[in-house]
Amino acid sequence: MPDYLDYDDSRAMGVKAVWALRRTPGPEAEEALWGLLASGSGDVREAAAKGLRSRGVSESEGT
């Protein structure tokens, strides 16, 4: 984890980034959401899953 995220125990910054990706069109944003779903903290994974669902993508499509 980068040093600048050490203070953010609730991962609020990561969740906000997911919300931004959710509204960003294009395959790159969707790919980033998949990456966060696989490797983020619990809160970030949950937000990424919601972001993918909001884009009409099932989480099972990534497996």
Question: Phi and psi dihedrals of 2, rounded to 5?
Answer: -60, 145
Q: How many domains does the chain fold into?
A: 1
For residue 52, what pLDDT is reported?
A: 94
Domain residues for the domain of 37 are 10-56
For residue 4, what pLDDT is reported?
A: 55
Distances in whole angstroms, Cα of residue 43 to Cα of each of 25, 26, 27, 60: 22, 23, 23, 19
For residue 23, what pLDDT is reported?
A: 93
Report if residue 4 sits inside a domain. no
Report if residue 5 sits inside a domain. no
For residue 11, what pLDDT is reported?
A: 72
What string of pLDDT tens digits covers the 63 residues of the chain? 556 556 556 677 888 889 999 999 999 999 999 999 988 688 889 999 999 999 998 777 765
In terms of pTM, does the model score above 0.85?
Answer: no
Quickly count: other Cβ atoms within 10 Å of residue 3's Cβ.
Answer: 6
Report if residue 62 sits inside a domain. no
